[in-house]
Amino acid sequence: MVSTTTKISMTEGAAYWARITGAPRPHRSTLIRWAIKGCRGKRLRAEPLAGRWFTTTDAIEEFLRHVTTLPTDAVDRTAGPARAAQVQRVLDDLDQMIEPKRPGRRKAK
């Protein structure tokens, strides 16, 4: 159930999301999907009314806080050094491939 604060349409909710995050504005259907299916185990509090979906600014802020915070135990810290070494090997290989050749004399034909 949506809180007692003023209800806004999903289009207005998408504009509000963009305004508070500074990110590109999501499509209203994205907010509807978040209300129906959720994201990261949390649903956006919203309700349909006369064929249109409505939410509140409070619900958007609550949902945003949930999806943008990551529990510390969810972070895989062991992959960092291994991934960095893999990236470095690829960069070294690329450097060898594009290393400029030393200018030299061309042989006459």
- Give the predicted TM-score (pTM) of the model: 0.60
**Angle at alpha carbon of residue 77, lines to 23 and 37, rounded to 5°:** 45
Residue ranges per structural domain of the chain: 8-68
Tokens of 23: 């990110």
Q: CA 109 from chain center: how many Å?
A: 59
Between the alpha carbon of residue 104 and those of residues 77, 100, 101, 107, the distances in Å are: 48, 12, 9, 9
**What are 46-90's pLDDT values in tens digits?**
999 999 999 999 999 999 988 887 554 544 555 567 777 777 787
